[in-house]
Amino acid sequence: MNKQLRKAVIAGNWKMNKTPAEAKELMEGIKPLVADAGCGVVVCVPYVDLETVLEAAKGTKIGVGAENCHWAPSGAFTGEISAPMLKSMGVQYVIIGHSERRTYFGETDATVNKRIRAALDAGLQVILCVGESLEQREQGVTGEHVAMQVKIALNGVSKDELKKMIIAYEPIWAIGTGRTATAQQAGEVCGTIRSVIAGLYGKDSADAFTIQYGGSMNPKNAAELLAQPDVDGGLIGGASLKPADFAQIVQAAGK
């Protein structure tokens, strides 16, 4: 991290977990543990939990996000949720392009770009996820693949709009598998992402841009990952469902 140049952010991604009652209990466990956080703290939760979590987050510095949004503001898209709907509730953030959306639900680089456009137009802050498969890493094309994902996702995004975005590097082979990229591997790819940002928007924008690592960060490896100069936080899956674990990662990012 380089906290003199940019903000560190730890975001929890609850995925498809927690009923509203369980979400309230989890938030009550998290709030006192991160009250003095020295970094940004966000929780991204299932749609059905948003109202409960927004209420629980009142009076705190915890940002609240959704886990996806549709690219249309309204229409015949049964089962989908639009960015304006989220904004109207008071939601601040939205995750776009998570590997599970890409893998299981047909998300493409093109639809990721459309969703980003919709989210920014609605006034939401975006956490964009990019990352390679194990096969792509073994083929030695990680840098090229991630650079392409970033460039397509940011097509049409202005320099000012970039300030409302975060990119999370999440190697697909390390999502929910217990495997983690080494600190060096994570740092290298986050550095690649920063280089792409610099090429598109200039060095000043790249230096100020927050890049997270999102592949099984936990209390044991957080400090080492966050010590990498281009890793500015984490997108946290399983550990975000355990208040003590989540708080330890937040503390590591606050140092």
Catalytic residue among 98, 100, 107, 132: 98
Single out the residue of 143, 12, 39, 165 nearest to residue 96, CA to CA. 165
Annotated active-site residue 70? The verdict is no
Is 98 part of the annotated catalytic residue set? yes
194 Cβ contact list (under 8 Å, min separation 6) = 206, 207, 209, 211, 230
Side chain identity at residue 254, one-letter code: G
Spot the catalytic one: 67, 107, 132, 170: 170
Residue 125 has phi, psi (to 5 degrees) of -95, 140
Measure the CA–CA gap between 94 and 50, rounded to whole angstroms. Answer: 12
Alpha carbons 28 and 160: distance in angstroms, whole number: 35
User: For residue 144, how far is the Cα from the chain centroid?
Assistant: 21
Indicate which residues carry an active-site annotation.
98, 170
